[in-house]
A and B are shown apart, each in its own frame.
Chain A
Amino acid sequence: MVERNGPIDILLVEDNPGDERLTREALTEGKVYSNLHWAKDGVEALEFLRRKGKYAAAPRPDIILLDLNLPKKDGREVLSEIKGDDDLKRIPVVILTTSKAEEDVMRTYNLHANCYVTKPVDLEKFIVVVKSIDAFWLTVVTLPNGR
């Protein structure tokens, strides 16, 4: 575990404002000391990561929460660009999936996501998920090839 003093910078790549707000609330409820940055689609996410345009001053996130269903550039493409970029590939990526089925499909692409999390319907469970981001992928998350 890396020693950390300030809040962790989280980049959430998600097109649904409801989910963005929910993640923010869950971080609050879970008392996770963090800055949540929000990219609404894949193009924005890569601009943020590469500090392009309005994101010139963007911090390098400690972790990326990546939704799969995104407009313009979907999560799979974003992931493959991140993992193909020497500068970015070390940032842990948590794939947010809607179902176990979606996770299975993603795994077949073998894109080296750090872990997969199925978004729970239950708020309590979601808070647990978000809290675990703080403790990093130790509890709820499933490690690739580690099932």
Chain B
Amino acid sequence: MAKVRVARRQREDAETASLRDALAALRDSEERFRAVVDSANEGILVYDRKLLVTAGNIAAERIVGLPLAQLIGKAGFTSQLPCVREDGAPLLPEERPTRITIRTGLPLTDHVIGIVRPEGTTTWLSVNTAFLRRPGELEYYGIVSTVSDITARRQAEAALRESEERFRLTFELAASGIAHVGLDARFLRVNRSLCDILGYSQEELVGRSVKDVSYLDDRDLTDSQRRRVRRGEVESARFEKRYVRKDGSIVWVDLAIALARDSAGVPQYEIAIFDDITERKHAEAALRQAHEELKRSNAELAQFAYVASHDLQEPLRMVSSYTQLLVRRYGDKLDGNAQEFMAYIVDGAARMKQLIEDLLAYSRVGTRSREFHQVAVEAPLRRAINNLRASVEEAGASITYDALPTVEADELQLSQLFQNLIGNALKFRSASVPRIQILAKEAAHEWEFTVKDNGLGIEPAYFERIFMVFQRLHNKGEYPGTGIGLAICKKVVERHGGRIWVESQLGEGSSFRFTLPKNQGEQ
């Protein structure tokens, strides 16, 4: 018996020992498990079959925002805090993740719900659930739920969505046509404006080769520009080319292309921006045509003036010469009246000859002029004064001038300009000794010259009129001349890109001012 007892005790001791060991192992395992659970970043909550919380970790406390003491033994945070579904609607009790799990009998993965905080913000959670079963049992004894805070991820996703939406809207609403073109030259994406420009729908364009809508003659141009961009020689290229619309009409486009590359620099697609410049092109062509027309008509007019004045002279010479011959040969046989009439014929012919010569000179300012060179203004001025020497001496006039600049001009025409202006100053002098000054004043882009006299002066009413062809302020008896001088001055100055005007008071002398650009290239 004793033997048996001993054996039993021994067995019991052994069992006790092994139980102790097992318990110790279990305790170790549970501690390890507890340590793992507590150190986990995800919140873990364990529910019993009645869906009351039986355990939880520190992360759950942090993520949910309730102390474990307030959770344990209760129905979980979704019943204690205001929660919403992923779409923002309030979370109904049957929509709680644990209930869904039980109802469907399936674990949940990445089920999103939100907790609405008192300050109005939402903490977004991703919830996973799983059934807890004992080994060998089919029936579950609880549910484990893991929750992670995905608020930051959701915000980033929302920001990305917003940004994408902004760019999509920009792309879609842009007034310019925009396309993303694949490296195989097919349209990947096109916006509405591009559809309008090319006359195709979005569906028709996407997948179509760009070459299909390019104007045949301009394809090489596009290819060469595209190659430069692809090779990385230039970041972007901009050029004008034509496309053929769906209806067959041609549209002019100002095209800008650039290459979109990935972060490794590998080309992904081409970004192309199209601006419809057809109207501008048509306007340019019309302007060019009008310009050509004007040039041709101006040339015709100049030719006409030349021929007219030339051919007018011949009959005039006949009238004048034969009248004079008549007087010369038969003058002694004519009475005084006849002599006087003849004199009027001759005088009329001479005046007409002068008018024709002046008209010819005027028309020649534009048609038979020389190219512009650097001219020291003093040279043509001196030449003009020299040409007027006789009149200057006769009038006892004094002519003085400033230091004068060098300008880009037609020297002969400048000399003609000064000669006409100084000639007028001498001609329309007052009773006092003529004093004529030539002044030059520098401005930003031009020189302003003044020919100032102490002569008769001009009434302001005539300031414009005196620059017109054959406009005179005095009768022919007082002051001879056809009235072409200032018209020629105006034409010369305007041909040089300058302006001419007069400042004067009757009896106070006149200042004729004109400007010449410093550099003809700036015109």
Contacts and interface: CB of A to CB of B under 8 A. Distances in A.
Contacts of B320: 121-123
A18 B318 contact: yes
B364 interface: yes
Given A29-B328, A121-B349, A124-B324, A101 B306 contact: yes
Contact of B322 (A18, A98, A100, A104): A18
Contacts of B361: 101
Contact of A16 (B314, B349, B360): B314
Contacts of B313: 98-99, 119, 121
Contacts of A99: 309-310, 313, 356-357, 360
A145 B356 CA distance: 26
Nearest to B313: A98
B325 interface: yes
B316 interface: yes
Contacts of B368: 101, 104-105
Contacts of B309: 99, 101
Nearest to B326: A123
A25 interface: yes
A103 B349 CA distance: 21
B211 interface: no
Interface of chain A, main secondary structure: helix
B316 A121 contact: yes
Given A29-B328, A99-B357, A99-B360, A121 B306 contact: no
Specify which of A104, A121, A122, A124 lies most central, judged by the most chain B CB atoms within 10 Å of its CB. A121
A99 B346 CA distance: 18
A126 interface: yes
Contact of B321 (A98, A100, A105, A121): A121
Interface string A22-62: 10010001000000000000000000000000000000000
A104 B321 CA distance: 24
Contacts of A102: 310
Contacts of A124: 324
Specify which of A99, A104, A120 lies most central, judged by the most chain B CB atoms within 10 Å of its CB. A99
Interface string B354-376: 00110011001000100000000
A122 B350 contact: yes
A98 B314 contact: yes
A123 B310 contact: no
Interface residues of B, number: 24
A147 to B, nearest CB: 12
Contacts of A29: 325, 328
A140 B267 CA distance: 84
Given A104-B368, A121-B320, A25 B314 contact: no
Interface string B338-356: 0000000010011001001
A101 B364 contact: yes
A121 B364 contact: no
B228 interface: no
A28 B179 CA distance: 91
Contacts of A98: 310, 313-314, 317
A123 B357 contact: no
B353 A22 contact: no
Interface string A65-105: 00000000000000000000000000000000011111011
Contacts of B318: 18-19, 22
Contacts of B346: 122
Contact of B353 (A101, A105, A121): A121
B436 to A, nearest CB: 27
Given A22-B325, A99-B313, A101-B310, A121 B350 contact: yes
Nearest to B361: A101
A124 to B, nearest CB: 7
A86 B317 CA distance: 36
Interface in B176-203: none
B324 A123 contact: yes
Contacts of A122: 320-321, 324, 346, 350
Contacts of A16: 314
B156 to A, nearest CB: 81
Contacts of B314: 16, 19, 98
B321 A123 contact: yes
B329 to A, nearest CB: 9
Interface string A110-121: 000000000111
Interface in B218-255: none
A89 B286 CA distance: 53
A98 B361 CA distance: 14
Given A19-B318, A119-B317, 17 more contacts: A18-B322, A22-B321, A29-B325, A29-B328, A98-B313, A98-B314, A98-B317, A99-B310, A99-B357, A100-B357, A101-B309, A101-B361, A101-B368, A121-B320, A122-B320, A123-B324, A123-B325
Interface of A: 16, 18-19, 22, 25, 29, 98-102, 104-105, 119-124, 126
25 contacts: A16-B314, A18-B318, A22-B317, A22-B318, A22-B322, A22-B325, A29-B328, A98-B313, A98-B314, A99-B309, A99-B310, A99-B313, A101-B309, A101-B360, A102-B310, A104-B368, A105-B368, A121-B320, A121-B321, A122-B321, A122-B324, A122-B346, A123-B324, A124-B324, A126-B321
* The 7 residue pairs across chains A and B that have the minimum distance between CB atoms: A123-B324, A121-B353, A121-B320, A123-B321, A18-B318, A98-B313, A121-B317
